[in-house]
Structure 1
Amino acid sequence: METPEECLLLEDLSQVMIQSNSNTELVDAEGDSTLNTPPPENGDADGVPLLGLDLVTQCNSSSQEDNSDDGLIPQFMDCIKVLEKENEILVPMVSSHVDKYLKAMLDSESKPELSPPPPELYPDVNMVVDALPSGIVTRLSDTAKQMMEAGFERECCDAYSKWRREFQEQCLSALGLKLQELKIEDFENWIKTCKAAVKIMFPNERRLSNIVFSGFHRAADVSFTEVCMKLTICLVSFADTIITTTTTTTTDQSYLLPNFLSSVIPEMSKSLHELNQESLLHGFCKDGILLEADVKKVHERFEIFKAFANLIYINTAQETVAGGGGLHLITQQATNYIDHVCESFGETVREYKIIPGREGKSSFSELLARMIELLESILETKSRDDYTDPALGYVFMMNNLWYIGQEACKWRSLVDGRTILDDHWFQQNTTKVEQNCKLYQRSSWNKMLDILKLEGNESVAPPNVVAESMKDKLNLFNLQFEKIYFFQSTWILSDHKQLREQVINSIDSTLLPAYGKFIDRFQDVLGERACEYIEYGIVDIQNRLSCLFLLSE
């Protein structure tokens, strides 16, 4: 609402404001007094505050000094400098409005029965325009129009955008939402920043740019885009990082927990959808390509990840156990889902950007790797929680990791193999299988190797003592071997012959030499009586090992 004085000043630019300690005089260009009425303190004759009135005069006075094309840019900058002084009032005002909105939003989510909804849930998209002195905004718009007509569109848009970006950063800083400083664990701040931007800050900026660049739609769009571009890119990049960054690059794995999967991911996906709608509404542009395409693709990947996380979370909650350490239902359903994703996006995966510094990997490849990592983390938890025998847990991991690797070969054939799951990923998968194989051996068969170890003092101990000791060891070995054989012959080790042969050969290579050495020494000590205690020959051991993991899935 313009004050009476502002109207007079805007109608007659030849007039200037002269302020004294107690009086205000309006004089014409020749200095003749036209009005000499002392206004009430801090207001005009009607009691209307003179907020920004002296600033309007400064801006108008500057415009009189140089109205040529060369003077338009300084004139525009003077108006902006005047408006920047309003930030001391406006930043706390907007920040307070955002803070109230965020709190009301959280309350409404925790108490959906509230009726009617609190007024704070309806953001004021005219707050900035209404708070700025209308006379200055009008003068800024008039100067912008002159700059457009004089061919200074680029300079005008740059100056305007810089001013509004700084205001935006001040508001975020006042709210404690410095997005560029966020770590991957700070997803709650991301949600708040996204809500603040989409619901309050961006709509207010759109409204202001439309007014300042009234009649010049292209300039209004370009300026608005430049104002919101940086924050939008930060929001999108952070969201993309959440679903494409592996736990090896962060010390906090909290975002793999069920709470993150069941609540945070859906909330972030919802916020991304709102950001996508905002970008569609206002037509963000970036290097000739619509920025909303970037927002849409990240939201698309978020939806894929959200559906995948829901699938895993639901099946985890069912507490199913894979008998014999075989393939888990989670693994089957998760890989089937990835099959579907690859089939659906096989033709469009090349459209996903190659991520700089990641050896030609696309964002789609990183998404797949992230999904697999999430699946593996769930499987590792189940391998510890579902099996009392650690050895069976390692067999479980071998089965599921091997299956994932075989399925991944299909995924490469469904999409451009150069852009997803490179050779390094397959090498890592093979290494994980081998590591679990070693852990399985250590848990099951290293105990047997300990039994077969020959004592270092046998050369000085009496022969009968050595004989008794070795008979006890052999008897214990026979009992333990029979026990392991009994249980592990009912375990599952993938239908793929290669994996089963690999595991059994690794047992052969360590157990048979140790057993053969023990039997040779045992025969030396007991002589002909040794055969009375030897239950298994080398061939018998091999035959028993070949019968391990024969249970069919």
Structure 2
Amino acid sequence: MRTVFKSTPSPTRMTPPASPLHLTFSESLMEENIEAAELIITKWDSLSHDSSSCNTASLFSNSREEAKQYLSSTKGLQKAMQYLVSHQASSEKLVRAQTLMATAMKRLEKEFYQILKSNRFYLDPESFSSHSSSRPSASRSSFSDLEEYVSENESGDETDSVPEPQRVSIAAMEDLRAIAEVMIKAGYAKECIRVYKITRKSFVDEALYSLGVESNLNLPKMDWEVLEAKIKNWLHAVKTAVKTLFSGERILSGQVFSIAPAMGESCFMEISKEGALALFEFPENVAKCKETPEKMFRFLDLYEAVSNHWPEIDSMFCFESTSNVRSTAMNCLIKLGDAVRKMLTSFETAIQKDTSKSTVPGGGIHPLTRYVMNYLTFLADYSEVLSEIVADWPLPIPSPLPEPFFGSPDNEESISSPVSVRLAWLILLMLCKLDGKAAMYKDVSLSYLFLANNLQYVVGKVRQSNLNILLGDEWVTKHELKVKQYAWNYVRMGWSKVLASLPENPTADIPVDEVKEHFRRFNSAFEEAYTKQASWVVPDPGLRDEIKISLARRIVPIYKEFYETYGGMHLRKEMWVESLVRYTPDDLGNYWSDLLNVSGSSGSVMSSSSHGGRSR
């Protein structure tokens, strides 16, 4: 009736008189519409008051054909009322029609609620968000949609037919749309929308609660372990909420109220706004927690989740009435980005302020190297997110950056992206610290071994992670060459006395006394170097093999020539040869095989045999 009275012609408007024939035909049609509507409306109204059936009687679940007839009759009744308002405004028939319409609207409101309630799990947002492209068009007639849709998708094989849950959800949605259309046209939009909002909001709130979405949490005062568990849960919840829950609800609201899109938007806003705000206030509040480098990765997880879902958030909550949802989500990104930048600064400061004075036994991997590189390896997995966060955040260091660590500015492969520069800078800070720690070793050769080990660890971590992509091949190649330089310095300085103990020309004619002296000096230098380095380590097997090969190539050929020239021929018959010529060339390889092993035991140097090598 609300729509009917709104459409009543203005008194000042002149309506041409209708012909008697037209009035007779229209009156007859109007009478038929009222009688047809009265028959079916009265029938279902009586069932509503029947105590034996009032709890089970449902027009749409009882007979779809009769439900279709009910809606059609209601539309006919509305046309009759419009005619009566225009031509017989004081007629008793209009009062009769008004009463029938009120009864019909009450019935449809009840049916609308029952369909929403009984099909709340079939009206699954996941179903609508997943199958939105295959749903019947909103422009089709409501009751032919399902049959047409099924016939289009069914094949001869029964297993290829539309799944039952999908059939039910489509049918329920179409029924809701048909009822909404009739109620809105009859002026009962308010009642229809009220029922829809209450029912669907209850579903959304319950779904968010089951996902663990909570509001009004005092996150900054939570223990980190508790908060981290909530963050992990939220990361799962936001994906389901955005991709499925809110997306499905928007589709459902749009389909049910396709006749009035503004009403659909209003319904979606009322249903989802409160839950969406609670969802996105969580990461915003997490960003208020104290920033420490250890929390970095959870903050990045939150930033990445919001950033990845931003297109859907911006699209779904594009209405002016939901602008605060968009602004809350955007504030998440801003505050989380600020927190990440502070944590990166704290991490950089921690490297610069590292004052540990202890040396690593055997020149192995320093804890600072392990911590920094493991941290940066994880950071590299967030390169896309970090690129957004540090894009407009320049490094507070002189430019250009040091070429030995960052590559030539003229080279196309030189580091240029903000993320790459910042990560390379952090590695450079750590390497500078390692240079200082290397100086703490009293033995210079051990200092170089320490630098070789730690830089090799850095290069290995870069090669095995996304750091390789960010820093580039040129960076890796330059640092690999530096590892080789450190290793060569260790070999040269750690075994220089051994090499110096041998004659420059091992095959030259040398007096016996000088030969004896060379063997004595070699034995002493070799045993001293080996004993001193017995506890030194090279964790990387590849680098360890390279060092041993370098040692063998540098010393063994010269010693072998000297041994074969003097150890086997000239001194063989001497009684003291066993104690003078202690090592064969093969013995050297046997000793070096256990040298620099992380868990191997080097044992002690033998001094009793020149033939059998090392005892096992």
Superposition TM-score tier, normalisation by shorter sequence: 0.3 to 0.5
Normalised by the size of structure 1, how large is the TM-score?
0.41
Normalised by the size of structure 2, how large is the TM-score?
0.37
